Amino acid sequence: RIRCPTLCIIAEKDDIVPLAAAEPLPGLLTNAPVETVRLPAGHINLVTGRLAEQVTIPSIVRWLDRQSETKAA
């Protein structure tokens, strides 16, 4: 069972992990606090290019910051 905070990043145009395969994941993690970020990107574009720089990476950093604050409190 996964119980740790989890960030699910879903790429809506992913050819490697299709949307139909990625969408159920947050709902399956019933014992974990889950946040989901959905982006209009493909698999590679999540971590490269403008979308990654402006949305994906900042979303991950904000989530990690919130997790750090929770542990420190």
pLDDT tens digits, 1-42: 899 999 999 999 999 999 999 999 999 999 999 999 999 999
User: pTM for this structure?
Assistant: 0.85
Average pLDDT score over residue span 41-53? 92
pLDDT at 25: 96
pLDDT at 69: 86
pLDDT at 35: 96
CA dihedral 19, 23, 28, 30 (to 10 degrees): 150
Terminal Cα-to-Cα distance of the chain (whole angstroms): 25
